[in-house]
């Protein structure tokens, strides 16, 4: 099956989450497996990622395996790996979070920060062409007050081993009163890339990685700019691979601004106008009235080669037409 093939919709429901042996038997297709307190995602029998939701500051995906089975995120702080920087301990794999929600910080892991707490699964499905994971979460302030809730749907597509596709959709719900997603650069749809593909290495040394946007910006110049997609690529374990993130055209404020750093943070953030464009503080606030909700959709492409070899623009053209 080519990566550009239209993916089907057939799914099979996973059995009880409490049964560690309840694995959808499939040597082909996408399998979601509840095991050892995580949801393991396998594609044609190959380990793709784990969804970690227990005893964490926020749910996140780690590890993520891309073309050739290489690690597609920085491994620290989940693992101790020689040569990795130990900055920003709140950068866990692939995640969604925001730094100012009704004044509460859900981005960092400081002493006053809030937590995103898993409440349950609405969907856990394996299937021939894709698997689907839907979760419910509460955003709790330090004192336990529930600030908001969300529902997330993550879809994992069956693709060849030289590329992986993952969709991430989050609906933020003003379930406990009016909600303000505040004007700050600290957010939101994020992944921390491997150390070897950073644009800049420690002590301002040039790295072997590349960061490019759909608008033609590159390197550090991508930060704070708007674009439909960005691609971060470079060498991992002797081969060139990349990570693309697509901002769906239906998203509020599309095309998004990018909180994409040359040191390896790669994030889409539609809120931080004060930091990105030097607008008055609060210009980037997004208000959700009590009882209402707002939805953001993103796609991640983990590809072989550089931006052109990974056919990133072609993949974006297909994604932008999706419902």
pLDDT, tens digit, 9 for 90 and up, residues 46-77: 999 999 999 999 999 999 999 999 999 999 99
User: Could you tell me the pLDDT band of residue 23, with boundaries at 50, 70 and 90?
Assistant: very low
pLDDT in tens, 146-172: 999 999 999 999 999 899 999 999 999
The residue behind tokens 């979760």 is 135
Torsion of CA 276, 172, 168, 75, to 10 degrees: 70
Beta bridge partners of 61: 51, 94
CB 284 within 8 A of CB 208: no
Residues 254, 297: Cα–Cα separation, whole Å: 11
Q: Is residue 238 part of a domain?
A: yes
Residues 68, 99: Cα–Cα separation, whole Å: 35
First-residue to last-residue Cα distance in the chain: 22
Residues 267, 269: Cα–Cα separation, whole Å: 6
Q: Is residue 61 part of a domain?
A: no
Verdict on whether the full-model pTM lies above 0.85: yes
Residue 2 confidence (pLDDT): 42
Q: Is residue 39 part of a domain?
A: no
Residues 270, 167: Cα–Cα separation, whole Å: 18
Q: Is residue 303 part of a domain?
A: yes
Q: Is residue 215 part of a domain?
A: yes
List of residues 6+ apart from 264 with CB closer than 8 A: 74, 192, 193, 194, 195, 197, 198
Residues 135, 170: Cα–Cα separation, whole Å: 10
Q: Is residue 15 part of a domain?
A: no
List of residues 6+ apart from 203 with CB closer than 8 A: none
Residue 82 confidence (pLDDT): 84
List of residues 6+ apart from 58 with CB closer than 8 A: 92, 95, 96, 97, 106, 115, 116
Residues 8, 135: Cα–Cα separation, whole Å: 22
Residue 62 confidence (pLDDT): 98
CB 185 within 8 A of CB 111: no
The total domain count for the chain is 1
* Consecutive H or E run containing 274: helix 273-277
Q: Is residue 194 part of a domain?
A: yes
Residue 202 confidence (pLDDT): 82
User: Could you tell me the pLDDT band of residue 3, with boundaries at 50, 70 and 90?
Assistant: very low
* SS3 at position 113: coil
Domain that holds residue 130: 70-78+90-319
- Asked whether residue 13 carries a pLDDT value surpassing 90, the answer given is no
Residue 143 confidence (pLDDT): 97
Q: Is residue 57 part of a domain?
A: no
């Amino acid at each position: 099956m080519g990566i550009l093939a239209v993916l089907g919709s057939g799914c099979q429901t996973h059995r009880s989450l409490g049964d560690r042996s309840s694995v959808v038997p499939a040597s082909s297709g996408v399998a979601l497996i509840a095991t050892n307190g995580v949801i393991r995602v396998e594609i044609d029998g190959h380990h793709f990622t784990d969804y970690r939701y227990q005893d964490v500051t926020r749910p996140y995906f780690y590890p993520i395996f891309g073309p050739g089975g290489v690690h597609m995120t920085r491994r620290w702080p989940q693992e101790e790996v020689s040569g990795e920087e130990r900055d920003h301990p709140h950068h866990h794999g692939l995640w969604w979070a925001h730094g100012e929600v009704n004044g509460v910080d859900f981005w960092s892991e400081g002493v006053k920060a809030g937590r995103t707490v898993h409440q349950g699964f609405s969907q856990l499905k394996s299937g021939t062409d894709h698997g689907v994971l839907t979760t419910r979460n509460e955003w709790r302030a330090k004192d336990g007050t529930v600030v908001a809730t969300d529902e997330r749907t993550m879809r994992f597509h069956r693709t060849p081993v030289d590329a992986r596709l993952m969709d991430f959709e989050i609906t933020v719900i003003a379930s406990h009163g009016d909600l303000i997603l505040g004007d700050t650069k600290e957010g939101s749809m994020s992944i921390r890339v491997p150390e070897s593909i950073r644009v800049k290495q420690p002590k301002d040394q040039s790295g072997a990685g590349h960061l490019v946007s759909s608008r033609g910006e590159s390197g550090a110049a991508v930060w704070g700019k708007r674009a439909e997609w960005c691609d971060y690529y470079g060498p991992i374990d002797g081969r060139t691979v990349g990570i693309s993130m697509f901002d769906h055209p239906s998203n509020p404020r599309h095309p998004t601004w990018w909180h994409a750093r040359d040191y390896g943070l790669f994030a889409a953030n539609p809120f931080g106008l004060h930091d990105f464009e030097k607008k008055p503080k609060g210009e980037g606030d997004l208000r959700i009235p009590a009882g209402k909700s707002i939805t953001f959709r993103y796609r991640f492409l983990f590809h072989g080669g550089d931006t052109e070899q990974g056919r990133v623009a072609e993949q974006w053209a297909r994604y932008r037409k999706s419902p």
